[in-house]
Homo-oligomer: A and B are copies of this chain.
């Protein structure tokens, strides 16, 4: 038993020390047709989540940018945006919660959003730094049965895309958990330690469906 523990831990430290080759999605230009569909490991019936990604974009000025869209037939269940004014926000079926944080830019930002229904605590992390907490949609639940896409904002189910809201730049390492990760775990993931794999999305083993013109390249973390 103890022997197994030793072997397991040695294996774990082996993972920590190695560089990992990961896929990275490059959206070269503004379109109303190109996107990635992400197949989840389990239904997105969620009363809490942590969603992380690495994102870089040269989009600036007054421009909305969709970063993550989970829509069921009737609702935007979980959308993550860069707003017109540069703030970051996420929306759970209706009004959003806004964070007046530093701008995304051409250098990669490790970005996480987390939310917990029981307390309503909503938080953004940028490069391992935690934002102030907002109290948002206490008691709400995210419903299953939709589709997650990256690159476009669907105003109807997988349709009505608007090029002016599309993502241009690079997104990778999209991972999602059905619970709130500790701040120290998010700092570890930011600083390159391969922490716990996402149980909703695990980018290292993700099933991606490419629609339109998206370049998926590989780079070593």
Residues of chain A whose beta carbon lies under 8 Å from any beta carbon of chain B: 2-3, 5-6, 9-10, 12-13, 16-19, 24, 26, 28, 56-58, 60, 99-102, 105-108, 119-121, 123-124, 126, 129-135, 169-170, 180-185, 187-188, 192, 195-196, 215, 217-221
Instruction: Identify A184's interface contact among B56, B130, B220, CB under 8 A.
Output: B220
Q: Which residues of B contact A102 (CB under 8 A)?
A: 105, 107
- Residues of A contacting B: mostly: mixed
Interchain CB contact under 8 A, B9 and A13: yes
Q: Which residues of B contact A120 (CB under 8 A)?
A: 215, 217
Q: How far apart sit A101 and B28, CA to CA, in the bound complex (Å)?
A: 16
Q: How far apart sit A215 and B2, CA to CA, in the bound complex (Å)?
A: 44
Q: Which residues of B contact A218 (CB under 8 A)?
A: 119
Q: List 7 A-B contacts (CB under 8 A).
A: A5-B6, A9-B9, A26-B135, A107-B126, A108-B131, A119-B218, A183-B192
Q: Which residues of B contact A107 (CB under 8 A)?
A: 101-102, 126, 129-131
Interchain CB contact under 8 A, B121 and A108: no
Interchain CB contact under 8 A, B192 and A19: no
Instruction: Identify A3's interface contact among B6, B12, B106, B220, CB under 8 A.
Output: B6
CB distance from A113 to the nearest CB of B (A): 13
Q: How far apart sit A10 and B217, CA to CA, in the bound complex (Å)?
A: 36
Interchain CB contact under 8 A, A58 and B132: yes
Q: How far apart sit A183 and B184, CA to CA, in the bound complex (Å)?
A: 21
Q: How far apart sit A182 and B16, CA to CA, in the bound complex (Å)?
A: 10
CB distance from A142 to the nearest CB of B (A): 19
Instruction: Identify A132's interface contact among B99, B108, B119, CB under 8 A.
Output: B108
Q: How far apart sit A133 and B22, CA to CA, in the bound complex (Å)?
A: 13
CB distance from A101 to the nearest CB of B (A): 5
Interchain CB contact under 8 A, A106 and B131: yes
Interchain CB contact under 8 A, B18 and A184: yes
Interchain CB contact under 8 A, A10 and B5: yes
Interchain CB contact under 8 A, B19 and A170: no
